[in-house]
Amino acid sequence: MKTSRADVLFRYVTIAVASVVVGLFVVYFVELVSGSSLTLSEGFVFITSSIWTDVAFGVYPMLWGSLVTSAIALCIGVPISVGVAIFLSEISKGRLRSTLGFLVEMLAAVPSVVYGLWGLFILTPILSTYVYPVLEQYVGFLPIFSCPDTFVPCYFYGVSVMTAGVVLAIMIIPIVAAISRDALMAVPNSQREAAYALGATRSEAINMSVLSYARSGIIAAIFLGFARAFGETMAVVMLIGNERVVSTSLLHPGYTLASLIANEFSEASSPVAVSALIEAGLVLLVVAFMTSFIGRLMIRRFLRSREAASYL
Amino acid sequence: MRLRRVISDRLWVGFTFAAVAIAIVPLVSILADVAYQGIAAMNVDFFTMLPPPPCPPNSVCTPGGLGDAIQGTVILVALSSAIGIPIGIISGIYVSEYGKNRYGSSVRFLGDVLAGIPSIVTGVLVYLLVVVPLRGYSVTAGSIALGSMMIPIVSNTSAEALKSVPNSIREASHALGIRKWRTSLLVAAHAKRAIATASLLAVARITGETAPLLLTAATSQLWFSGFGEPIASLTFYIYFYGTSAYGNWKALAWGAALILIVIVLGINVGVRIITRGKGAYSS
């Protein structure tokens, strides 16, 4: 068919607009690197030092806080999410499946600042009254739940690394559950039938053949859940206490890279302080980009191999 | 042996059901608490007045509301939609109708990855690109930040919608001698419902954003006074007043949370009701 000038023009317009997505991507890295040049030249001291003053900038405590809160979120959130995914894809059907699936999706629709408000006024008092004292009493010999005697218990105000991690766990459930469910649903039925033919019960079939088949999809979901938890800002800044300390105890307040930026950006006094905060953003960008990239790549591979398998 | 297997099967099913219950309890708690505390904060002043001064215990409180924040959120969301939705849809048309090549699939892939970049980083980027050159926080900067977050979301969801339009539509259009570019628009018109719902969900998503606004638009205690001036938003007040020490401010934070939840969940539930029972490509 004849290609008119309008056709060519339209095609180039759409390409140009689509390139905004690619362009944005490049701009992120270029701008954050050039914006943080004042402190970037200091090298790795930035992530290994714990000293944060008006002239020296080290984000080790915040990097630690980001990693620990994300780890808590994964430890609590992933088993729940995988359970939800199994229930939605293997056990429930019809109306129950769609209704419960919708409710879990709605967890993702709640704005993160509302999680922060709810966490601060509803969850924090519950945790610091009923959960943390019990943890300290029975497993307080573990460094992660220790709480050295001071005038008031370390969880007195309730805001802590643990509180932030628990709320992050709730926040990553919808994304991890949704991707795991898609992975489970992509498992061909022949896989289940084979297990049933061997006399397996439903749980054995899920364990033996469905979960192992969907494994890479579930791991991808964990990567994306980590990226979400690592970069989450508002809920964490309201719940972690924003103290620049490295503590092995999860019941202590802490700080994260994202909450550092949110909390201190408007008060940054000098160009070099702004540069340091932008570099914190660069660290966030690189980590979130890498985990998100790997996760997406794994999903793509997983779905492709499933497509190929379905032709066999 | 058989009994043991039956029991372990039941336990396994019980575990998955418990997981669903654990996931839904926080949602119910959030909705109940926001409704309960938020309704208590609702009155006419909430919508029409500017924020009150803090009200320490044992003092007379001046009435006030979050009129400026409601106005600010509406303006920010409208402007960012005007930026993000058109660019997103045209990019989606490229990915679906022209992008059956390496570049098209990388646009789609990068869109997914971009959607996973923390929103506070978007705030840092727009601070560098817009706030620094314009010398100050502004409505414009806030809208650009939220708009740029919408682009990859709208692009990928509308590409998805366009791809599910049956090929027979494209073939019929070609057979009638209609040019490719008009065919693309026909396909887009065919999927307009799905594209509209995808855009609405993106609007719901950015209405609840706070972090990028902290570095771009926040805040002012005044009514909208120009695109070059800073502005408040509902989400900003939930953060700022929610972490404050004053009862009257905390009440306003819950009120703001209620309005936000009604908007965001309203859009999600509305989209769900509209699309229920529709065919694949109209949903």
Half-sphere exposure of A30 (CA within 13 A, CB side): 7
Chain A neighbors of B181, CB-CB under 8 A: 6-7, 9-11
In terms of average pLDDT, the best of A157-166, B47-56, B73-82 is: B73-82
CA–CA distance from B78 to each of A127, B73, B137 (Å)? 39, 8, 18
Q: Tell me if A46 is assigned to some domain.
A: no
Say yes or no to pLDDT of A204 above 60: yes
Most B CBs within 10 Å: which of A17, A26, A114, as the mutation test of the B interface? A114
Q: Tell me if A194 is assigned to some domain.
A: yes
Predicted local confidence at residue B277, as pLDDT: 57
Chain B neighbors of A84, CB-CB under 8 A: 16, 19-20, 23
Q: Tell me if A23 is assigned to some domain.
A: no
Predicted local confidence at residue A106, as pLDDT: 93
The nearest CA of chain A is from the CA of B210 a distance in Å of 7
Please report, as a single letter, which amino acid is at residue A276: A
Q: Tell me if A213 is assigned to some domain.
A: yes
Find the closest chain B residue to A108 by CA distance. B205
Predicted local confidence at residue B268, as pLDDT: 92
Q: Which domain holds residue A188?
A: 60-310
What gap in Å lies between CA B248 and CA A195, rounded to an integer?
Answer: 61
Which spans in chain A are helix H? 5-35, 37-40, 45-48, 60-86, 94-109, 112-118, 124-126, 132-139, 161-185, 189-197, 202-205, 211-213, 215-231, 234-239, 257-264, 271-310
In DSSP terms, A57 is beta-bridged to A52
Chain A neighbors of B111, CB-CB under 8 A: 21
DSSP designation for B138: -
Average confidence (pLDDT) over B127-142 = 93
Q: Tell me if A102 is assigned to some domain.
A: yes
pTM above 0.90? yes
Give the rounded distance of the alpha carbon of A211 from its chain centre.
22
Predicted local confidence at residue B280, as pLDDT: 41
Contacts of A262 (CB under 8 A, 6+ apart): A233, A234, A237, B120, B211, B214
Say yes or no to pLDDT of B220 above 90: no
Say yes or no to pLDDT of A167 above 60: yes
Chain A neighbors of B242, CB-CB under 8 A: 113, 116-117, 120-121, 238
The nearest CA of chain A is from the CA of B28 a distance in Å of 9
Please report, as a single letter, which amino acid is at residue A235: A
Average confidence (pLDDT) over B30-51 = 92
Chain B neighbors of A31, CB-CB under 8 A: 125, 128-129
Two structure tokens written together for A159: 């805001």
Residue A247 or residue A99, greater confidence = A99
Q: Band the pLDDT of B281: cuts 50, 70, 90.
A: very low
What gap in Å lies between CA A142 and CA B42, rounded to an integer?
Answer: 47
Task: Write out pLDDT tens, residues B254-265.
Answer: 999 999 999 999
Q: Band the pLDDT of A312: cuts 50, 70, 90.
A: very low
Tell me what the pLDDT averaged over chain A comes to: 89
Q: What does residue A233 show for φ and ψ, rounded to 5 degrees?
A: -115, -60
Reference A105, options B226, B269, B184, B254; nearest CA is B269
Chain A neighbors of B184, CB-CB under 8 A: 10, 14
What gap in Å lies between CA B238 and CA B241, rounded to an integer?
Answer: 6
Contacts of B233 (CB under 8 A, 6+ apart): B69, B72, B73, B76, B142, B210, B213, B217, B218, B219
Chain B neighbors of A276, CB-CB under 8 A: none
Predicted local confidence at residue B279, as pLDDT: 45
DSSP designation for A311: T
Reference B271, options A100, A181, A105; nearest CA is A105
Two structure tokens written together for B149: 């977050």
Cβ of A292 within 8 Å of Cβ of B90? The answer is no
Question: B79-233 adopts what CATH topology?
Answer: MetI-like fold (1.10.3720)
Task: Write out pLDDT tens, residues A145-156.
Answer: 887 766 677 777
The nearest CA of chain A is from the CA of B60 a distance in Å of 25
Cβ of B118 within 8 Å of Cβ of A258? The answer is yes
Residue A146 or residue B233, greater confidence = B233
Cβ of A110 within 8 Å of Cβ of B18? The answer is no
A167 contacts A119 by C-beta, under 8 angstroms = yes
Say yes or no to pLDDT of A244 above 90: no
Tell me what the pLDDT averaged over chain B comes to: 90
Say yes or no to pLDDT of B274 above 70: yes
Cβ of B242 within 8 Å of Cβ of A120? The answer is yes
Average confidence (pLDDT) over A167-174 = 96
Say yes or no to pLDDT of B1 above 80: no
A74 contacts A291 by C-beta, under 8 angstroms = no
Most B CBs within 10 Å: which of A17, A88, A206, A237, as the mutation test of the B interface? A17
Q: Band the pLDDT of B222: cuts 50, 70, 90.
A: confident
Task: Write out pLDDT tens, residues A50-78.
Answer: 888 888 888 999 999 999 999 999 999 99
Predicted local confidence at residue A87, as pLDDT: 94
From the list A21, A91, A203, which residue is nearest B107 (CB)?
A21
Q: Tell me if A42 is assigned to some domain.
A: no
Two structure tokens written together for B70: 């409601």
ipTM of the shown complex = 0.92
DSSP annotation string for B246-276: -HHHHHHHHHHHHHHHHHHHHHHHHHHHHHT
From the list B18, B91, B128, which residue is nearest A17 (CB)?
B91
Residues of chain A with pLDDT > 70: what percent?
Answer: 96
From the list A1, A109, A227, which residue is nearest B264 (CB)?
A109
What gap in Å lies between CA A161 and CA A85, rounded to an integer?
Answer: 27
DSSP annotation string for A52-79: BSSS-B--HHHHHHHHHHHHHHHHHHHH
Task: Residue A283: give its domain's CATH number.
Answer: 1.10.3720.10
Average confidence (pLDDT) over A261-285 = 91
Task: Write out pLDDT tens, residues B149-205.
Answer: 999 999 999 999 999 999 999 999 989 988 888 999 999 999 998 999 999 999 999
Q: Tell me if A31 is assigned to some domain.
A: no
Chain A neighbors of B283, CB-CB under 8 A: none
Chain A neighbors of B148, CB-CB under 8 A: 24
Q: Tell me if A270 is assigned to some domain.
A: yes
Cβ of B118 within 8 Å of Cβ of A230? The answer is yes
Find the closest chain B residue to A241 by CA distance. B243
> What's the structural domain count of chain A?
1
Chain B neighbors of A234, CB-CB under 8 A: 210-211, 235, 239
Residue A7 or residue A79, greater confidence = A79
Find the closest chain B residue to A271 by CA distance. B132
Predicted local confidence at residue A282, as pLDDT: 95
Phi-psi region of A242 (alpha: psi -120 to 50; beta: other; left: phi over 0): left
The nearest CA of chain A is from the CA of B9 a distance in Å of 5
Residue A66 or residue B228, greater confidence = A66
What gap in Å lies between CA B40 and CA A121, rounded to an integer?
Answer: 15
Delimit the domains of chain B by residue range.
79-233
Most B CBs within 10 Å: which of A234, A255, A293, as the mutation test of the B interface? A234
Say yes or no to pLDDT of B119 above 80: yes
Task: Write out pLDDT tens, residues A117-139.
Answer: 999 999 999 998 898 888 888 88
B117 three-class SS: coil
What gap in Å lies between CA A299 and CA B41, rounded to an integer?
Answer: 45
Task: Write out pLDDT tens, residues A4-56.
Answer: 888 889 989 999 999 988 999 899 999 999 999 888 888 888 888 888 888 88
Cβ of A15 within 8 Å of Cβ of B174? The answer is no
Two structure tokens written together for A36: 């943080």
The nearest CA of chain A is from the CA of B68 a distance in Å of 19
Average confidence (pLDDT) over B23-40 = 95
